[in-house]
Amino acid sequence: MKTFHTLAELRAELALASARPAFVPTMGNLHEGHLTLIRQARNLVGDSGSPVVASIFVNRLQFGPNEDFDRYPRTLQRDADLLQGAGCDILFAPHEAELYPEPQGYKVLPPDELANILEGAFRPGFFTGVCTVVHKLFNIVQPRLALFGKKDYQQLMVLRRMVDQMALPIEVVGGETTRSPEGLALSSRNGYLSEAERTEALTLIRLLREVQAQLRSTSGWTPGKVAALEDAAMAELRQRGWAPDYVLVRRRKDLHPATADELAGGPDATPLVTLVAARLGTTRLIDNLEV
């Protein structure tokens, strides 16, 4: 695997490839979820000549003023070793001054109806930061395929729409969430959890599975009954000492609430997903499960 820190070096290397790359953008502190995306990219490109490229860049633009930008773990050497082992060909790890040599005045503003709900409601400007850096990375890497994990369900949707609306010639691939054997969704932020919090964090997947089972096993759902289910999950999280931001059942297609008619038709007719975000101690976790 070759590592580059500048746009010029990366571009010179990519110019030698016979096909456009498959690309996995990350913020580093890699875990098995990222490595699964790298392996998936490797399988997808086969012997087409497309290199598998990963980027590591902790993007200041997507962090709010009180978020964890400064303490976000930077583990470049360990990450590079893991990427190499997973079959990555090229790592692009630019310094901040390389990607943002001047304040980034031009930004990609995703539409409010996608970006100001759920995560966007609690992290103002988050998706503008994500879309801006990903659009910029796409311009640098010029991939034909880009892979993102479904753990960040809304991010995947927002980026898919960006690619569609901007007519970028890129196929966006969503990778399934990788979980610990007990069910905890892998996340770079899990490293902030104490041993006891790591056990408690399993509550998220338990609640998501319970909501999924209830929605699947009974019929006659209405917006009011779904709201009661969401409220019960929120109450349980609070009672266990969490500070939940949301537990919401949404339509998969646009992450808006299903209508009464859609709920009456059942989750097979209108595919749903339950999304949760909650703080445990000082760590904010998100997870989701398709119904």
* Residues classed as catalytic: 34
Give bridge partners of residue 179 from the DSSP assignment.
185
Q: Is-contact 239 246, C-beta < 8 A?
A: no
Nearest approach in angstroms of CB 258 to ligand PAF is: 27
Nearest approach in angstroms of CB 271 to ligand PAF is: 23
Of the candidates 133, 234, 237, 247, which one interacts with ligand PAF according to CB under 6 A? 133
| Residue 130 or 145 having the CB closest to ligand PAF | 130
Of the candidates 25, 94, 110, 120, which one interacts with ligand PAF according to CB under 6 A? 25
Nearest approach in angstroms of CB 127 to ligand PAF is: 9
Binding piece for ligand PAF, criterion CB under 6 A, among 24-32, 206-214, 226-234, 253-261: 24-32
Q: Which residue has the tokens 């901040």?
A: 96
Max CA distance (Å), the chain? 59
Enclosing H/E stretch for 232: helix 223-239
For residue 263, give the nearest of 215, 228, 229 by alpha carbon: 215
3-state helix, strand, coil in the chain (%, to 5): 45, 20, 40
Query: 272-280 and 243-251: which strand pairing?
Result: antiparallel
| Residue 187 or 274 having the CB closest to ligand PAF | 187
Nearest approach in angstroms of CB 24 to ligand PAF is: 9
Site string for ligand PAF, 39-78 (x = CB under 6 A): --------------------x--x----------------
Query: 272-280 and 283-290: which strand pairing?
Result: antiparallel
Tokens of 222: 């209405």
Q: Which residues bind ligand PAF (CB under 6 A)?
A: 25-27, 59, 62, 130, 133-134, 152, 155
